[in-house]
Amino acid sequence: MKIRLAAPTSPVPVPVPAYLVGQPGISTETRSALAAISQIHGRVEVVHDQSNVFQGGRNRGWTLDQAAVLNALSGDHLHRATMAVTRADHQRPQQEAFFKFAERIGYRVLRHAPLHDERGRICEDEMKVDGACRELIRQAAACADVDVVVVLSGDGGLVNACRAARRAGKDVFVLCWSGTLHPELQAAATATFFLDDLRSLLTRVH
């Protein structure tokens, strides 16, 4: 089931999370986003394919606010949040600074060795990063302390792992940018959300 947000025909009271209380002016768009993700509850495992989400959103003028992601998507209890990444290039110290920031706000960051193209440029080893995401989803599927798996990726390589989590009785919620969602991943998930629709809640301007 894919969920696109629409303007409500009548006001719907949506509880404002504690971290937004006191913020000036909670917009109608943000309240709609809160209503959409309110079905994410229970004990949550977050699996974040950082490259997939970054590449999908890089030309949209928005980037994910990682702290807002953890605040909004952690349900009743955040069991664990893990970000699978390609190890930072020594020539791009801002990448490692970002990974360290993610660790400070609560992510476990799994760094994987990169590949190099014919020009010597660093690129992602998709087998390692996608494999790590699949393993994380399968671990969550087997964990008695997890009710919900939140997957930030639209990658079709995660389909079987998400199916396994569903068979294990977990709800699987997939979040990605529009145009990046593999149709089989959509079918495997309990529900999918486009980050475009949640940007007032989860994103910031570049």
pLDDT tens string 13-26: 445 555 454 555 55
Question: Model pTM?
Answer: 0.81
Is residue 160 scored above 50 in pLDDT? yes
Supply the pLDDT for residue 164: 97
pLDDT interval class at 124 (50, 70, 90): low
Q: What is the DSSP string of 51-90?
A: HHHHHHHTTTTEEE-HHHHHHHH-TTEEEEEEEEEEPPPT
Cβ(152)–Cβ(69) under 8 Å?
A: yes
Higher-confidence residue: 52 or 140?
A: 140
Mean pLDDT over 112-136 rounds to 76
pLDDT beyond 90 at 135: yes
Q: What pLDDT score does 64 carry?
A: 85
Burial degree of 204 (CB within 10 A; 0-12, 13-18, 19+): exposed
pLDDT greater than 90 at residue 153: yes
Q: What is the mean pLDDT of residues 116-129?
A: 68
* Sign of the alpha-carbon torsion through 186, 193, 4, 204: negative
Place of tokens 């605040």: 71
Query: Of the candidates 124, 189, 202, which has an alpha carbon nearest to the alpha carbon of residue 154?
Result: 189
pLDDT at 43 over 90: yes
Give the pLDDT confidence score for residue 14 in this predicted structure.
Answer: 44
Q: What is the mean pLDDT of the chain?
A: 81
Q: What is the pLDDT of residue 12?
A: 38
Element housing 132 (H / E): helix 126-142
